[in-house]
Amino acid sequence: MTAPRSARIALLPGDGIGPEVVAAGRDTLEAVARAFGHEFTFVEAGIGGAAIDATGQPLPPDTLALCRSADAVLLGAVGGPRWTGAVRPEQGLLGLRRGLGVFANIRPVVVWPESSGSSPIKADRLAGVDLVVVRELTGGIYFGEKTLTGAAGAERATDLCVYTTDEIARVTRVAAAFAQARRGRLTSVDKANVLETSRLWRRVVTEVVRSEFPHVALDHLLVDTCAMDLVRWPAAFDVILTENMFGDILTDEAAMLAGSIGLLPSASLGEGAGIRPVRGLYEPIHGSAPDIAGKGVANPVGTILSAAMLLRYSLGLDEEAAVVERAARAAVAEGVVTPDLAANGAAARTGDVTRRIVASIVDRLTCPTPVSMLHP
**Among all residues, which ones are annotated catalytic?**
142, 191, 224, 248, 252
Is 71 or 248 the residue whose CB approaches Mg ion more closely? 248
Out of ligand IPM, Mg ion, none, what residue 20 binds, judged by CB under 5 to 8 A for its kind, is none
State the virtual CA torsion across 85, 91, 92, 98 in degrees, nearest 10: -170
Considering only the C-alpha atoms of the chain, give the largest distance between any 2 of them, rounded to a whole number of Å.
Answer: 65
Residue 33 CB partners (closer than 8 Å, separation 6+): 39, 40
Helix (H, G, I), strand (E, B) or coil at 41: strand
∠ Cα 85 87 89 (to 5°): 100
Cβ 131 vs Cβ 240: under 8 Å: yes
The whole-angstrom separation of Cα 179 and Cα 183 is: 6
Q: Which of residues 232-251 bind ligand IPM (CB under 6 A)?
A: 248
- Residue number, nearest CB to ligand IPM: 90
Kindly tell me which of 226 and 336 has the beta carbon lying closer to Mg ion.
Answer: 226
Nearer to ligand IPM, 53 or 334 (CB): 53
Q: Which helix (H) or strand (E) holds 44?
A: strand 39-44
Interaction between residue 283 and Mg ion (CB under 5 A): no
Nearer Cβ to ligand IPM, position 91 or 206? 91
Provide the edge-to-edge strand list for the sheet that holds 280-282: 39-44, 6-14, 72-77, 280-282, 267-269, 104-110, 130-136, 239-242, 185-190, 217-222
Between residues 74 and 78, which has the closer beta carbon with respect to ligand IPM? Answer: 78
Ranges within 275-314 binding ligand IPM (CB under 6 A) = 285, 287
Residues 247-276 that bind Mg ion (CB under 5 A): 248
CB 90 to ligand IPM: min, Å? 4
Main-chain dihedrals φ then ψ at residue 367, nearest 5 degrees: -85, 140
Which residues between 209 and 248 bind Mg ion (CB under 5 A)?
A: 248
Task: Provide, rounded to whole angstroms, the least separation between the CB of residue 246 and ligand IPM.
Answer: 11
Verify binding: residue 90, ligand IPM, rule CB under 6 A: yes
| Shortest Å, Cβ 268 to Mg ion | 12
Count of chain residues binding ligand IPM (CB under 6 A): 7
Q: Does residue 93 belong to the site contacting ligand IPM (CB under 6 A)?
A: yes
Q: Which one of ligand IPM, Mg ion, none interacts with residue 48, CB within 5 to 8 A by kind?
A: none
Q: Which amino acid is at 359?
A: A
The nearest distance, CB 367 to ligand IPM, in angstroms, is 28
Q: Using CB distances below 5 to 8 A depending on partner kind, what does residue 90 bind out of Mg ion, ligand IPM, none? A: ligand IPM
Binding mask 253-272 for ligand IPM (x = CB under 6 A): --------------------
Give the three-state DSSP class for 328.
Answer: helix
Residue 105, beta-bridge partner list = 135, 268
The C-alpha atoms of residue 303 and residue 18 are separated, in whole angstroms, by: 9
CB of 288 to Mg ion, least distance (A): 11
Report the SS3 class of residue 127.
Answer: coil
Interface with Mg ion by CB under 5 A: which residues? 248
Q: Note the residues at the interface with ligand IPM (CB under 6 A).
A: 78-79, 90, 93, 248, 285, 287
